Structure 1
Amino acid sequence: MTAKQGLVLYGPPAAGKDTVTAALTELHPARYAQFARLKVGSGKTAGYRMSTAEQLRKLEAAGDVVYANHRYGNTYVIDKPGLDTVFAAAVPVIHLGQIDGVRAVVDGYPADWATVLLWCPREVTAHRSERRGDSDTTARLAAWDATRHDLDACPETVWDLTVNTAVASPSDVARLVDQLLAQRAGAAMA
């Protein structure tokens, strides 16, 4: 039996995680689904499952938090029940900007996880953030710096695929990712 497949897209803000995920779902609408993390806090709600501090405490008490991080004054959570739901229907696509999060997911939830590093230069993050109207570009650049530091501090981290999104189109990246997952599935069946 083939292990269920999951996909982690790692990279700094505005590296293209949302855009590549949209291209993946356009390529195979029924195969891929972006994992909507729980969010405890305020601000943007689209793409998140909004939650409360009390609900987070209950998940923690049950051992159902795979990974939680704090950024932009909010808490973002990858939870086992949420992953179970997405895995039942599709290949979940998780967006992360912390290597600790990648490790927590790969080690903390049993699946065949493919890890993809989406990268872009800092000035590209700044331009994309401003172009899409982010009100917190300065915070996103600080997160870019933290992501760069994360990578520099963990040179042993091995990615299944690394793509510079400043030079590769979202549809090309989606095709590469889709091919990667198909190869992994084929290897698992062999």
Structure 2
Amino acid sequence: MTSKHGVVLYGPPAAGKDTVTAALNQLDPRYAQFARLKVGSGKSSGYRMSTAEQLHLLEAAGDVIYANTRYGNTYVIDRPGLDAAFEAGVPVIHLGQVDGIRALVDGYPAHWDVVLLWCSREETARRSEDRGDPDTAARLAAWDATRKDLDVHAAMAWDLTVDTTMTSPDETTQRVHDVVLGRVKAEELGR
């Protein structure tokens, strides 16, 4: 039985993944956002910047759990990065694709609590503009892709679903934490 616990926050851009992750870290410093590898340009904060050559080496070694392309960049969840994240605590992984969740859950043994954070397209636009994103149109296209992804994978089971337009960041964070604690306690009881 594994004692590794991780959290996946799925949802469209501006649904609150960064806000909830930061609040989880304040609640318990063991929570930390998983810094995916990023091959490309643009924002580097929160990523481990990499090269196409390094990505090919990881692929050859079988160490790529999931990779996707969005905003002209490639984002990678890699086995060595996950190993290090679990050694440090409870990784929180942000994803916008159900295929990525499935690849992670099937490809890396751990207890994954999968949370759907949702907000409307209009709210994504408002939040994106409020935070000064230079690429709001691309984020709305990503929102559309996320909505389509959910429609295609309607049978996806979530450990928790939260509409972040109806639930405060503090309440959302506590609810995510409670799901993780519930899983940990259930595991302890099952021993």
TM-score by length of 2: 0.97
Trace 1:1-190 onto structure 2 (pairs within 5 A): 3-29=3-29, 31-190=30-189
Q: % of aligned pairs identical?
A: 70
Q: Report if aligned partners of 1:11, 1:117 keep a CA contact under 8 Å in 2.
A: yes
- Report the residue type matching 1:26 in the other structure: Q
Partner Cα separation in structure 2 for residue 188 and residue 120 of structure 1: 32
SS, match of residue 139 in structure 2: helix
Cα-to-partner distance string for 1:87-109 (whole Å, 9 max, x where unaligned): 00110000000000000101100
Q: Report if aligned partners of 1:24, 1:178 keep a CA contact under 8 Å in 2.
A: yes
Q: Per-residue deviation at 1:74?
A: 0.3
Q: Per-residue deviation at 1:169?
A: 1.2
Partner Cα separation in structure 2 for residue 121 and residue 63 of structure 1: 37
TM-score by length of 1: 0.98
Partner Cα separation in structure 2 for residue 150 and residue 61 of structure 1: 29
Shift in alpha-carbon separation, 1:64–1:2, aligned structure 2, 3 A: closer
Q: Per-residue deviation at 1:167?
A: 1.4
Report how many aligned residue pairs link the two structures.
189
Q: Per-residue deviation at 1:189?
A: 1.2
- Report the residue type matching 2:159 in the other structure: D
Q: Per-residue deviation at 1:3?
A: 2.3
SS, match of residue 88 in structure 1: helix
SS, match of residue 88 in structure 2: coil
Q: Report if aligned partners of 1:2, 1:188 keep a CA contact under 8 Å in 2.
A: no
Q: Per-residue deviation at 1:84?
A: 0.3
Q: Report if aligned partners of 1:14, 1:128 keep a CA contact under 8 Å in 2.
A: yes
- Report the residue type matching 1:116 in the other structure: V
- Report the residue type matching 2:144 in the other structure: D
Q: Report if aligned partners of 1:2, 1:185 keep a CA contact under 8 Å in 2.
A: no
Q: Report if aligned partners of 1:35, 1:86 keep a CA contact under 8 Å in 2.
A: yes
Unaligned runs of 5+ in 2: none
Partner Cα separation in structure 2 for residue 100 and residue 172 of structure 1: 28
Q: Per-residue deviation at 1:163?
A: 0.1
SS, match of residue 80 in structure 2: helix
Q: Report if aligned partners of 1:2, 1:189 keep a CA contact under 8 Å in 2.
A: no
Q: Per-residue deviation at 1:2?
A: 5.1
Partner Cα separation in structure 2 for residue 173 and residue 59 of structure 1: 35
Q: Per-residue deviation at 1:168?
A: 1.0
Partner Cα separation in structure 2 for residue 175 and residue 2 of structure 1: 24
Runs of 4+ in 1 over 6 A off after TM superposition: none
Unaligned runs of 5+ in 1: none
